[in-house]
Structure 1
Amino acid sequence: MVALRAATSCLPHELERQRLLAASMRIGMMGMCAVTPLGAFWLVQLGSPWWACLWAAATCTSALLSKPLAIRVLRARSAQEALTAERIYAFKMLLSGGLWGGLALWPGASELDLLALGILQFLILIVSCVSLAASRHAFPLLLTSIVLPLTLRLLISPPAALPLISAGLVIAALVLAVGHFMLYRTVRRVVLRRQQRDSLAREQEALFHAASEGILLVREACIVKCNWQGAAMLGSSPEQIIGTTIGEWLHESTSWPHYLEDMRASFSLNERFGCIARLRKRDGECFFAELSANPLDADDLAAGVVLVTTDISVRLANEAALRSSEQRFRRLLSLSSDWYWEQDAEFRFTQLRGARMDDPFNTFAHTVGKLRWELDIVGVDEQRWATHRATLEAHLPFNDFTYQLRTRKGELRWLSVTGHPVHDEAGHFCGYHGIGTDITENIRQQERYHHLAHHDTLTGLPNRRLLMDRLDQSTALAKRNLRRVAVMLLDLDNFKVINDTDGHSTGDRVLVAVAERLRGAIREADTLSRLGGDEFVVLLPAIESIADAEQVASKITATLTQSLDIGGSTYVLGVSVGIAIYPDHTAMPDKLLSLADAAMYQAKQGGGNQYRLAQLNDQGQLPL
């Protein structure tokens, strides 16, 4: 039954058209009743008063039938029911038009009388063309029923000007028919667009109230809109919250101006504002909420700010409980492992158990009865094995004995084992039992952290920390071998223009391409490092003369002068290079970078795309 009613229910835009149709029915009823006396007077003028009364009664009765039909259209529960009422109304208009059109066939009517009647009928049709714009069939039937009798009268008793009158009649009928059709389509289109806007507004309102977070629209510290979730969060209803100030719901009622200042600072940087605030419910209970804000106009917060609130009291309580229990479970978690093992008094494996006995751990399936050092273990030298055996023979516990085990697939896994001696009731040594853990991922993670700590995240080049370490090693080796070390500091010319015009993402791609170019311009033994931004450092660990460094600098400037194709755009860069030589310019490794930096600025001040050697003043200091 529900499915049938849903299938036959009226669409929203059809309901709107039905309301317009019902209104036009009432207007048409009043208009027809108002014009009926004119038709009756026309009959009286022809000497038929009784027929005039009878005709007026029939016409008014037909007009009054519009009211129950209008009520039926408004109360229609389905599209079919409304369509039936509209068809009945169209048939009624056919009868009403027939009453008016039949007057054209009245015997004894002169051409002048017919002219007056035609003008009156034409006025009725013009008014009906507009008032019946909501109905597709009512006006065409009315037009046909009025024009057809008049056409027959012209054919039966043609006047002298029949061709002209006929042409005018046809043209007038066509104009009215076309005009009504255009009005009908316009009404349908306007109603449909209005309904679409109303439907969109209802959908947005439904989404607004269906949001799982509380949403408040605050304008000049006053709450002008609130969804159901936000009201429930504050222990109230939307009607009770709308119109109040935001300060009434803050734990500190005077803190809203401070929030506004923080919002302005965030919005000025094109960032979203977020914070944790303490709110107060209607009954006075306070809770913590996570607030995020979006402005309607970032330049004018008085236009309104949309606040999205989430109650995080439970989450904060859970986090506090977790922190309090973390210390309590720390010892238990430290005993967790991937497997459990046992050895006999001769240190041979007797049992291996655990949930993770798949690869690589099923490698242990054939190790029962073997000693640990009989397994395919790597990474443990003889001294460590000797120390481990001494610990076992002394029946002492051991912790975190790490080694690498090769699985049946040939993969090396890092393992860590901890063991404790086992004694029987008489105190005799029975063997060992302990736990083992696969720490391969931990080792790999440490290696990744080590790499991140010593390399640039964008280009993968060594960073300042690794550069200084290699610089110390290179200068120490050069001191023993009486060689030179060159440090070249590179700064790209006009790189800031790329960031400002094409964005930082394009600038990052350019830096990666520059790093690749620089790698190809130096030897494998040399070190290329990125200090940050568009600054690079080239370390030449062993050169014979200063001319060798100048040759590399010339190669670098020539390489970077060549155009770069990035994302369909071509960029031509230059580079300013500063060179400092150990020990010619200084014997202190940490001072080489400062000398190269000063020389680079001299190259940049000289127009860029060139290199300069470091220069010291008479006191052996860097020039200002």
Structure 2
Amino acid sequence: MGNQDPLLAWWLGLTLSQLLMLGMSLPGAQASPQPRHDDVPLRSYFSSAGPIIGGAAWGALALVGPYDATPQSQAILCVVLCSVTLAGTGFSRSVSSYSAFAAAVLLPLFILLVASPPARVPGAAFWLLAFAAFALIVRGLHTGREGPPQDSLAAFETTLMPHQAMVDNARAAIVLSRGNRVELCNRRFAEMMRVDESGIAGSRLLDGFESRADWHHHARAADTAIRRGSTYHASTRLRRRDGSVFWAEITGQAIDPESHPPQVVWVAFDVTERMMDSAREELLASQLRTLIARSTDWYWKTDPQHRLMHVTHEAERTNDTLKANLGRKWWQLHRQGGDARPGQSDVRAAFEGCNGFRDLLVELPNGNNPPLWLSLCGTPRFNEHGAFLGHHGTAVDVTEQVRSTERIRHLAYHDALTGLPNRRLLTDRLTLAIARAQRYSERVGLLFVDLDDFRRINDLGGHAAGDQALLEIADRLRTCVRACDTVARLGSDEFVILLAELDEAGDANRVAAKILSTLHEPLAAHTACHPVSTSIGVASFPEDATSAEDLIKIADTRMFRAKRRGGQRIEGRDGAYPGVAPSLATLPV
């Protein structure tokens, strides 16, 4: 050697670097009060620093060695560095670390071969690149043939083998891997993948995934989580050796995150049935949402305090009356002061009973418009612990049905022309008034009113004029009585007035005189402008009768008696007297 000092410096540098790497590999040297597991780039840098330092130490031989001495020295230098590169295939931990080592060894030599190529070896730089590729192929073949590291097997046997029976009988598949290779597994994993248990050691984890893209996705995510010292958890599709695919839930945790590549224990469960059930439930939920979206009904939900919390409707309304009442309870939606409808009083009891119900009628205010009527069907909701979560169900708009029912009911109890109660409703109210009078020692008066010359109005003006006259007469009769009294129409020109809660029997006669005087004024619909003659029969409880039917018959009989006596008079219990306009101050109102 022509220059021994640089060579001596190289040997000293190589020795110190190897001693430094040995010190860093000791367990005590790696202890740190605050290990930075979360800094993945920094860990990757330190994991690659060892091979780079060692390779650079060998590669420095090309810079300080006798490259320019003789052709024999150049050949010896190339042989030494190539031999070191091949030797590194046996002790490198992974292909990536070996690539860093080989690059650090051969890069200075490659630069020299490019800058000063040997005269006897043309294209030496190209042959060096070919050798580097050959070394990488040898390292890959060595990785495929090598079995699990002895230290890994020893550690695994020490911790797992005493419990091998328990592990083999576990419902979960358990795998010990290092890098992308399976080292050990239990019987359940072999059954899950449908392979022989003895043929799994050394196989690639990549082969168990449905696609290479899935493998890369989970490998990157798992590497990040494991290097941070946490547990990786995910659901993915795995492929068996026979080609069938199934859903699996995988969990991975490193035995020692500081090792490179780390040993990872994987636990997997076959969750195909659960995923299928979840998919079916999602499909049913999607179909239900589509059905609700196309339905003309509302879907609603309440909270445990029975407050309306969610409403879904087909139309995107800018003014949805039901959505405007979110936060209120169903029994708080009815009109204040409105008449109770059948079933409306049961709304609160149905909800607070925490039971299912159907066809529950609820009145919904609609601003200045007529109210809406909804028919509710509801089912209670409970969580997995049985705690009540509220009701949910559907609401159907039955406003038209309710209004049609009310119209039919109104026609059944009222006169079609004037809107006054008919005989049926009059009888019901008279019966109730008599019952109240018996309880509170009061009197009830009944006035049977008949128009004496109503036929003449029809003959002169036609039926239209007669109908208009009847409407005007009905209005006049309403003005002559109190709000608690009832004006009913029994026939074409026959009216009955129920006077409830009278103090004296003579009060009925005074009201009859007022009616006689009011009706005697000319009607606007009467073309001849002649006054209308009226005959009134008066009966009272308890002096004349004690039942509704008897009281009506007596009043009817007395009305006919007044009519036979010439009309325009009142026939009572004390006889008949012609109608004279009385003092309005003496009439009850």
Shorter chain as denominator, the TM-score bin is: 0.3 to 0.5
TM-score normalised over the length of structure 1: 0.38
TM-score normalised over the length of structure 2: 0.40
